[in-house]
């Protein structure tokens, strides 16, 4: 339970600290062509997002740590890159069952479609359906999240191992953990930005019906994307390839800062809860 609690605390810390950057990123990605972007109410939807993001982080670590530990003994105690890749991918797949509906609701609140998470969840489930609405963009979300989790956690683990090997086997200090986590986050955020743009656009268009943004944020409801490939192709054709990197600056900043906060909070919480468990 120590890893699960630590993951939940770390996830909550990042969401509360950096939610405005995520909102800016989402609104930039949603805007098509020369659409106006509203930078007001940047914490809109944070409460409802926490209700999903925290358990999603907990589920991730409930799977990630046991899978990582399970694979280690058969490999002589070494930590090859494949172990971290497989553990992170498995954890991400499990967490996606909570993460995707949460992201759908969050994205549509951030773009001004609903005033509350409760209303958003009720409307989407009732009028658009569970699969078509609450799990809109599920495939694109997996296409983004699984590589994201694999790259970020593998990068973090490898960077930390490199640090230890170059510092006499000593664990990094908290400020060093922040730097390592931030580096892993920035690298991952930049690489996966096009996947995030597609995910955002598929999620905010909803299921069977399309809800227009109350602040006229975007015009993407005028013509629906038919899927991941269609979204990639049309975005590049209609707006240029640069559009697939919309919101990269706030995304890299969000994930970089978030990675530093997340992994520092994670290691701190693990020290507290795991040492407490050993002591008892």
Dump pLDDT digits (tens) for 134-154.
999 899 889 888 888 888 888
pLDDT band at 97 (very low <50, low <70, confident <90, very high): very high
Instruction: Specify the pLDDT at position 76.
Output: 53
DSSP tally for the chain: helices H, then strands E: 9, 0
pLDDT band at 275 (very low <50, low <70, confident <90, very high): low
Those residues with Cβ within 8 angstroms of residue 205's Cβ, 6 or more apart along the chain or in another chain: 136, 220, 221, 224, 225
pLDDT band at 171 (very low <50, low <70, confident <90, very high): confident
Instruction: Specify the pLDDT at position 122.
Output: 94
On the question of pLDDT at 210 being above 70, the answer is no
Query: Which CA distances in Å does 55 have to 6, 48, 68, 111?
Result: 11, 12, 20, 24
Q: Which two tokens stand for residue 196?
A: 């995030």
Nearest to 93 by CA among 53, 70, 64: 64
User: How far is 210 from 105, CA to CA, in rounded Å?
Assistant: 14
pLDDT tens readout for residues 38-75: 888 899 889 889 989 899 999 998 999 888 888 776 55
On the question of pLDDT at 89 being above 70, the answer is yes
144 φ, ψ to 5°? -85, -50
Instruction: Specify the pLDDT at position 34.
Output: 67
Instruction: Specify the pLDDT at position 174.
Output: 82
205 φ, ψ to 5°? -80, -15
pLDDT band at 212 (very low <50, low <70, confident <90, very high): very low
User: How far is 36 from 157, CA to CA, in rounded Å?
Assistant: 40
Q: Where are the alpha helices (DSSP H) in 115-218?
A: 117-123, 138-165, 174-191, 193-204
Give just the sign of the alpha carbon dihedral 8, 14, 20, 21: negative
Mean of pLDDT values over 89-111:
93
Instruction: Specify the pLDDT at position 35.
Output: 74
Instruction: Specify the pLDDT at position 1.
Output: 64
On the question of pLDDT at 261 being above 60, the answer is yes
Residue 236: give its domain's CATH number. 1.50.40.10
In the chain, the number of structural domains is 1
Instruction: Specify the pLDDT at position 40.
Output: 87
Q: What is the domain range of residue 50?
A: 2-279
């Amino acid at each position: 339970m120590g890893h699960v609690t630590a993951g939940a605390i770390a996830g909550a810390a990042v969401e509360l600290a950096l939610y405005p950057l995520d909102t800016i990123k989402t609104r930039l990605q949603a805007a098509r062509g020369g659409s106006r972007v509203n930078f007001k109410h940047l914490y809109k939807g944070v409460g409802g997002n926490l209700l999903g993001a925290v358990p999603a982080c907990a589920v991730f670590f409930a799977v990630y740590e046991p899978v990582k530990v399970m694979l280690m003994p058969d490999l002589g105690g070494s930590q090859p890159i494949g172990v971290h890749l497989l553990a992170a991918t498995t954890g991400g797949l499990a967490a996606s069952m909570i993460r995707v509906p949460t992201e759908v609701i969050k994205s549509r609140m951030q773009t001004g479609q609903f005033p509350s998470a409760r209303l958003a969840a009720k409307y989407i489930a009732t009028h658009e359906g569970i699969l078509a609405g609450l799990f809109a963009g599920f495939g694109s979300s997996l296409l983004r999240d699984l590589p994201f989790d694999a790259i970020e956690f593998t990068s973090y683990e490898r960077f930390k191992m490199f640090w230890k090997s170059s510092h006499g086997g000593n664990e990094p200090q908290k400020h060093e953990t922040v730097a390592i986590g931030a580096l892993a986050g920035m690298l991952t955020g930049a690489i996966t930005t096009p996947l995030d743009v597609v995910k955002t656009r598929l999620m905010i268009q909803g299921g069977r019906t399309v809800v227009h943004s109350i602040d006229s944020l975007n015009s993407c409801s005028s013509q629906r994307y038919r899927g991941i490939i269609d979204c990639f192709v049309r975005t590049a054709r209609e707006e240029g390839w640069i559009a697939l990197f919309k919101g990269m600056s706030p995304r890299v900043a969000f994930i970089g800062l978030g990675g530093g906060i997340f992994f520092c909070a994670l290691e701190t919480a693990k020290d507290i809860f795991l040492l407490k468990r050993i002591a008892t």
